[in-house]
Amino acid sequence: MSRVRYDLQIIRDWIKPGSRVLDLGCGKGELLQQLEKHNGVTGYGVELADLHVTECIRAGINVIQGDLDLGLSEFDDDSFDYVILSMTLQASRYPDQLLKEMLRVGNHGIVTFPNFGHLSTRLQLGLHGRMPVTKTLPLEWYNTTNIHLCTFTDFEALCEKLSIEIIERQALTHSNKTSLGLRLFPNLLGEIAMYRFCKKQI
C-alpha cells in the first residue's frame, strides 16, 4: 500500500470529519478522494485544465471547470467549512484577492506553497546571481507558471494586512520531513509552507 504524502496527511488531520470542503486547483482530485474516504467530507473541486477535469469526473469527484483568477463568484458566502489551495497560490495573478475569496466562501482556509526564502534559493541567488531551480521550484524562470513567489514572512505579512488570523503553521522539506530546526527557523529551512487560517474576529 502506497504511503500518503505527509503534507496531505497534515491537511487531513486539520479537517474535521463530515465537513464541507472546496479544493481550488484540485488537479486530478487525489486530495478530495482522500478526504472523502478518510474524513467523510462532501466536497467540490475547481480545476482549469481540461485533462484534469476529465480525470476528476472519471474518479467520481464533483468538479467545476474554472479560472481562479476570475474569483469564486459561483459560490455563495459561507458555503464551505474549509477551502484548500494546495501549491497553487504562487501561480495566481491576484493572491490577495484569492485569499479574500477563500474566506468569503469558507470559514477556514488552508494554503500550501513553495517557500522562496529557503536556504537553497538564497544560496543560488547569492552565489550565482540566477533565479533558483529546486525540487519545489523545478522549472526555469522563463517557463514556470509561478508568478508570485513568496516566503513564510511575506505570507504572514499579507495575512496581517488582510486581517487574517493564522491558526496553525507547518514547515516541511521536499521529502515531507519536519524537525525542531524547521519549527524554529521555518523561513530559512522550510521548503514547503503550510497554513491554516480564518478571518480575525473583530
Domains recognised in the chain with CATH numbers: 6-115+149-196 (3.40.50.150)
Per-residue pLDDT tens digits of the chain, which is 202 residues long: 445 577 888 999 999 999 999 999 999 999 999 999 999 999 999 999 999 999 999 999 999 999 999 999 999 999 999 999 999 999 999 999 999 999 999 999 999 999 988 888 898 888 888 887 887 888 787 888 888 899 999 999 999 999 999 999 999 987 666 677 788 888 898 899 999 999 988 6
| Nearest Cα residue to 95 out of 24, 166, 186 | 24
* DSSP bridge pairs for 196: 110, 168
Amino acid 144: pLDDT: 82
Q: How far apart are CA 127 and CA 121, in angstroms?
A: 10
Retrieve residue 181's grid coordinates: 530546526
* DSSP bridge pairs for 64: 46
